Structure 1
């Protein structure tokens, strides 16, 4: 009899042991891929432009003229203040760079050194091979050494090649640094909050396994050209998986603790915790994954790249949470929470003293609570129009000083603002003179010259397949609003030239097209994301009204966060604006991730309402989930804040928006606004489910 009963018991342990073995194999085999995404990542900004934009078509068209497809490095020499660059120095500069022709990474001859109108500076362009990769910095060092051989002048390097090198430096070591900072922050917070030694380690291992699996899948897809990865996507993927996996793990671990406190059988406790939390976890993950996949509707390639990559990360986070974590908790049992021990009070709402007090405040005056918090959110949201998303100026791209930015500023002081980054016009050869004249007559254009066959100014225009390239130098800085206005006017004028079939591209045109496309993307994607979230909430909560309230509150939280961000960016961090994609990224992350906490709360509220009635259901749901959701919010905010270690304005801005927004959502929206609203509305908030027909304080006749 003993042997027959012990056999089924041993068999019950086979599944959790098998799951642990499988995940240990995944971690050991695929874990290294978390540090290998850089091998398949590209930071070529031209690859992330709007596919249908005019500037993107220019990139393809100009390849016929740039046989070497070179990336320009602009060398700028500056004389000491109050002096001028002499003829001999100009000749020495030309000679020094000419000697570089044909060397490693320099496929063509550098241009002659040209003197600025004020006579205080020289500039020349050195063409670099586009596929240098890790060798780019070394080649630029050789160019810099040659430029510094000119006596009496200081030399700097600006232009796309220098910017690429600085970007590579900014993303250098991103895998180890970012992962270390994020995991360190998570570990410290979990140790402080849960005062347990094993639980934080188990949760972190679960998140690391999820990240390893996600990175391996993304690596394979990127290596085959199915998805695209750049430094930004790479960094966001790590943070997203670590943050989401930790959030889901905290919810499951908290439920396991409750079940373990209520019964002695840890196998039954593990099964109950998975069964009762899986719905909320999968619904939360679905909102994030589908919200990210909505980015596929974007016309910006980097937005579309983040969509599937982020969704893969979320799926892996859910798989780890619902398979590895229950198995690990089951085997550890009460030891997972050592030195703390699950007590019977942990299984009741009365065991959460702080949140019991919060619930009492809401219960005494729900209408006062939700109106005051809503008013606060509306005041903060009123500042959101102050947040400019017209792009980040070149001198603000990097948070720390970058050599390419300093060189570009030097270039702008002595040459027309658009020097080195002209507007590029591709037109029919027969109409080229008329197009050139139209360009020269455009306000804001300093000069317009066709590319010559010899590569030197004034030579015979180079015609390829009946088309000619004209470079129009902008008077204003290439990243300024004035330059974008000039490009728009330039397009209008050259498009009007008969039989020209002219198109205008270049750096400024790319910025202009990206800004317009980002605005279009927000118009299309925001409603799609909100509709996805509402539908998932309807399916989960089986109500139509509560999902509307939840979507409205997370949208209000997003606007309030933008309002605070506008004040912080302008007055504390010194940003004049944000990248055009920042509001959309912030919306997708903040709304999709923020609604997670409302899902965690309201799924538990519905469960409690079935047993205890509407009013008591809300209060019990708040008190039992308050601690774990707040912990999850703090952890997620800390993981996104880790993005600030990368010295790029784009990621710093995303990090602040998501981190602050998550904390605001966790501490105000989910803790005060939503519970107070639902209590004030009473049973009708659950319309049209059967819960809508109950008296506010009554228990329903079903369980």
Structure 2
């Protein structure tokens, strides 16, 4: 039997959420504040149902907008570039109306399985396949082009132009699928592959993956919350809050896309996992402190109010740091990267608002019973104050900080050696899973046909150009050594054009040098000529991404350093933490590179992958720094820095571990997406978050702070706890 006061509190914490938690208030109305009730607790008590109703209404409205998010996404590479680049200007001329895009080309390639030359019977089978495509009423296709046989006689292909009706339909996806149904299976002895830019795009996209990604993220979050709290009920509360945050954030993303920001498939996918992960992180931090405060307060409203007062600064600072880092993306040249900044920042703002309002309201409405079977009480903490495992780790770290520092720093330095395998690539093939049919077909195509056949350049002459200018341009381009063929093309916007095929792989270093030579040669004979086409787009994209990286990385580091300095009121601590973060990022990218190349068989990474992983890993990794250091700073008011570190790690180690596992799990869910770049971002961030969580924030940073002692708070002097008491 418990005390009368505790028994009454248990009655008041049942499913009837407005029942008070104390015996002394049982005869009073639920909303009557107790004499010792704080202002914030009264606000929580009175406003909980209104807050709950407002967020439910927002989620319902946002869901309607979010359902149309796919209609406003922009996923063509040229649309990501600003108009100042030649390739994007050509794309605008070719497709003056983005809502009615130009046709995309698929290539149907036939080779013999034994690698030999095609026989007359084989060629007849290829012609029959072309006739079947023409008669098959493939959506968006008028008919195939002429059959072309390679010079070695071992390959034959015919092109198929696919014309979408508008930018958001699924014509290309359906047409490629129908083409594959027509040409498969090939006659005995022949191998048929549908490749080309259209097929690569289809194999890269995988269709609408947002629903699957949301479901996967929910399952991961639910599983980790169950393991964390070992409660059959409590896990539903942060999961419900995270789901509301995702729905509202996606509605906000739709509004930003309508306002003109470029929202891509990558942005939409990242938004889902980012909000699920970040919102759950904030929920874990709040719930950890709420459970701790329940050991000090009989009234749950008082416990919620105190948890809010203690955690809001850290959560807001954490969200502010991530938001500031994401908004640094606004300086990017790449429209997709630039658009991701506000979209993801809006998701973080929504996450923090939900978890500082809706989550406390849900806890206040329900009561203490949500935490069953491990319900903390003032006379029974039930492990709510310190984590036993991390308490042991903290003791070892502060006892031997140099050893702990070496044991973590040396492996991280060794992991950076993986960066020697890092290779950037502008080839769209490297964005597609290596076993996809379009990739296999592309490799076979390169064995038998000129490299540039699958991705020609488009040269557009200036307005008013005539036959003389066209001949001069053709001569100039043909003089470049790596050009295989130069043919007059159809006029584009009443301007003469050329189709240029290169004799080198269209997306490698040789192709980039060739494009630069072509542009230089044309500038000398016909000023104002533009060179576009997919290889030129990828070159310009690659150069823009590298330029964005040089601007964004230092800007993010400065922004985070300033926020940390203001939060911790120190100049030494931010420098220390930034150095640890950069080392962690380098190690994470090194390990990720080995996973990509050795484990998953991926080729080179996209040039903008570096900045994606950097911004998310650094900004989100600082979350755990803030969670830890804010608690250390709080503990430092009452004890030495060494003891403050020990108590800080013991108190936050469990929640940081749980938060890191949740965030890593949600980002790892991106690995199921066929777009290799998206998968690489998810895997890279997941690896980095685990390193941050398990090694950097829980061992390396505490060891560094312990070694530096009070110098870590410079220029603000902190004496011992006794000295502080004496001076006060």
When normalised by structure 2's length, the TM-score is 0.87
Q: Return the alpha-carbon distance in structure 2 between the equivalents of residues 483 and 592 of structure 1.
A: 36
Task: Report whether the alignment pairs 1:599 with 2:626.
Answer: yes
Q: Return the alpha-carbon distance in structure 2 between the equivalents of residues 271 and 346 of structure 1.
A: 18
Q: Return the alpha-carbon distance in structure 2 between the equivalents of residues 191 and 463 of structure 1.
A: 60
Q: 1:21: how far off?
A: 2.0
Count how many residue pairs are aligned between Structure 1 and Structure 2: 685
Residue 472 of structure 2 corresponds to 434
Structure 1's unaligned 5+ residue stretches are 453-461
Return 154-163 or 542-551, whichever deviates more: 154-163
Q: 1:64: how far off?
A: 7.9
Residue 139 of structure 1 corresponds to 175
Return 534-543 or 20-29, whichever deviates more: 20-29
Residue 203 of structure 1 corresponds to 238
Residue 239 of structure 1 corresponds to 273
The answer on whether the counterparts of 2:94 and 2:493 sit within 8 Å (CA) in structure 1 is no
Residue pairs, 1:533-548, within 5 angstroms: 533-548=560-575
The answer on whether the counterparts of 1:65 and 1:464 sit within 8 Å (CA) in structure 2 is no
Residue 520 of structure 1 corresponds to 547
Give the alignment partner of residue 8 of structure 1, picking from 32, 48, 60: 32
Residue 252 of structure 1 corresponds to 286
Return 187-196 or 623-632, whichever deviates more: 187-196
* Cα pair distance change 1:92/1:617, threshold 3 Å: closer
Q: Return the alpha-carbon distance in structure 1 between the equivalents of residues 500 and 570 of structure 2.
A: 59
Return 57-66 or 19-28, whichever deviates more: 57-66
Task: Report whether the alignment pairs 1:265 with 2:299.
Answer: yes
Task: Report whether the alignment pairs 1:40 with 2:72.
Answer: yes
Q: 1:264: how far off?
A: 1.1
Residue 606 of structure 2 corresponds to 579
Q: 1:85: how far off?
A: 5.5
Q: 1:79: how far off?
A: 5.2
The answer on whether the counterparts of 1:637 and 1:663 sit within 8 Å (CA) in structure 2 is yes
Task: Report whether the alignment pairs 1:75 with 2:108.
Answer: yes
Residue pairs, 1:187-586, within 5 angstroms: 187-222=222-257, 224-344=258-378, 346=381, 351-391=386-426, 393-399=427-433, 401-427=435-461, 428-429=465-466, 430-452=468-490, 462=491, 465=494, 467-495=495-523, 497-586=524-613
Give the alignment partner of residue 613 of structure 1, picking from 620, 640, 647: 640
Q: Return the alpha-carbon distance in structure 1 between the equivalents of residues 540 and 547 of structure 2.
A: 11
The answer on whether the counterparts of 1:270 and 1:330 sit within 8 Å (CA) in structure 2 is yes
Residue 212 of structure 2 corresponds to 177
Q: 1:330: how far off?
A: 2.0
Task: Report whether the alignment pairs 1:164 with 2:201.
Answer: yes
Q: Return the alpha-carbon distance in structure 2 between the equivalents of residues 150 and 250 of structure 1.
A: 56
* Cα pair distance change 1:588/1:687, threshold 3 Å: same
The answer on whether the counterparts of 2:133 and 2:182 sit within 8 Å (CA) in structure 1 is no
Task: Report whether the alignment pairs 1:635 with 2:662.
Answer: yes
Q: SS of the residue aligned with 1:125?
A: strand
Residue 457 of structure 1 corresponds to none
The answer on whether the counterparts of 1:262 and 1:347 sit within 8 Å (CA) in structure 2 is no
Q: Write out per-residue CA displacement over residues 474-512 of structure 1, whole angstroms, 9 at most, x where no aligned residue.
A: 1223233332232233223222x3334322221222222
Q: Return the alpha-carbon distance in structure 2 between the equivalents of residues 194 and 572 of structure 1.
A: 34
The answer on whether the counterparts of 1:96 and 1:150 sit within 8 Å (CA) in structure 2 is no
Q: 1:600: how far off?
A: 0.4
* Cα pair distance change 1:501/1:145, threshold 3 Å: same
Q: Return the alpha-carbon distance in structure 2 between the equivalents of residues 336 and 698 of structure 1.
A: 43
When normalised by structure 1's length, the TM-score is 0.90
The answer on whether the counterparts of 1:270 and 1:326 sit within 8 Å (CA) in structure 2 is yes
Q: Return the alpha-carbon distance in structure 1 between the equivalents of residues 185 and 217 of structure 2.
A: 45
Q: Return the alpha-carbon distance in structure 1 between the equivalents of residues 606 and 727 of structure 2.
A: 53
Segments of 4+ moved more than 6 angstroms: 1-6, 64-68, 100-103, 145-153, 347-350
Q: Return the alpha-carbon distance in structure 2 between the equivalents of residues 267 and 216 of structure 1.
A: 32
Q: Write out per-residue CA displacement over residues 562-611 of structure 1, whole angstroms, 9 at most, x where no aligned residue.
A: 12122222222222321111111000000000000000001111111112
Q: Write out per-residue CA displacement over residues 324-369 of structure 1, whole angstroms, 9 at most, x where no aligned residue.
A: 1011122333222111121557599974322221121122222332
Residue 458 of structure 1 corresponds to none
Residue 694 of structure 1 corresponds to 719
Q: Return the alpha-carbon distance in structure 2 between the equivalents of residues 177 and 371 of structure 1.
A: 42
Q: Return the alpha-carbon distance in structure 1 between the equivalents of residues 125 and 477 of structure 2.
A: 30
The answer on whether the counterparts of 2:459 and 2:499 sit within 8 Å (CA) in structure 1 is yes
Q: Return the alpha-carbon distance in structure 2 between the equivalents of residues 142 and 637 of structure 1.
A: 38
Q: SS of the residue aligned with 1:470?
A: strand
* Cα pair distance change 1:702/1:630, threshold 3 Å: farther
Q: 1:396: how far off?
A: 3.6
Give the alignment partner of residue 680 of structure 2, picking from 653, 661, 667: 653
Q: 1:378: how far off?
A: 2.2
Q: Return the alpha-carbon distance in structure 2 between the equivalents of residues 438 and 668 of structure 1.
A: 58
Q: Return the alpha-carbon distance in structure 1 between the equivalents of residues 704 and 339 of structure 2.
A: 38
Q: Return the alpha-carbon distance in structure 2 between the equivalents of residues 29 and 338 of structure 1.
A: 33
* Cα pair distance change 1:349/1:618, threshold 3 Å: farther
Structure 2's unaligned 5+ residue stretches are 1-23, 35-41
Return 181-190 or 591-600, whichever deviates more: 181-190
Q: SS of the residue aligned with 1:262?
A: coil
Q: Return the alpha-carbon distance in structure 2 between the equivalents of residues 255 and 686 of structure 1.
A: 25
Q: 1:420: how far off?
A: 2.8
Q: Return the alpha-carbon distance in structure 2 between the equivalents of residues 348 and 700 of structure 1.
A: 30
* Cα pair distance change 1:191/1:702, threshold 3 Å: farther
Residue 8 of structure 2 corresponds to none
Q: SS of the residue aligned with 2:659?
A: helix
Q: Return the alpha-carbon distance in structure 2 between the equivalents of residues 352 and 154 of structure 1.
A: 61
* Cα pair distance change 1:404/1:567, threshold 3 Å: closer
The answer on whether the counterparts of 1:19 and 1:323 sit within 8 Å (CA) in structure 2 is yes
Q: Write out per-residue CA displacement over residues 104-152 of structure 1, whole angstroms, 9 at most, x where no aligned residue.
A: 5246x75322222122333333332244522333334555567679988
Q: Return the alpha-carbon distance in structure 2 between the equivalents of residues 575 and 92 of structure 1.
A: 35
Q: Write out per-residue CA displacement over residues 190-226 of structure 1, whole angstroms, 9 at most, x where no aligned residue.
A: 111221122211010000000111111222332x243
Residue 92 of structure 2 corresponds to 60
The answer on whether the counterparts of 1:388 and 1:577 sit within 8 Å (CA) in structure 2 is yes
Q: 1:636: how far off?
A: 0.7
Q: SS of the residue aligned with 2:397?
A: helix
The answer on whether the counterparts of 1:243 and 1:639 sit within 8 Å (CA) in structure 2 is yes
Q: 1:670: how far off?
A: 0.6
The Cα RMSD (Å) is 3.1
* Cα pair distance change 1:700/1:475, threshold 3 Å: farther
Q: Return the alpha-carbon distance in structure 2 between the equivalents of residues 663 and 149 of structure 1.
A: 45
The answer on whether the counterparts of 1:210 and 1:313 sit within 8 Å (CA) in structure 2 is yes
Q: Return the alpha-carbon distance in structure 1 between the equivalents of residues 323 and 442 of structure 2.
A: 40
Q: Write out per-residue CA displacement over residues 598-650 of structure 1, whole angstroms, 9 at most, x where no aligned residue.
A: 00001111111112232222221111111111110111111111111112211
* Cα pair distance change 1:140/1:383, threshold 3 Å: closer
Q: Return the alpha-carbon distance in structure 2 between the equivalents of residues 578 and 199 of structure 1.
A: 41
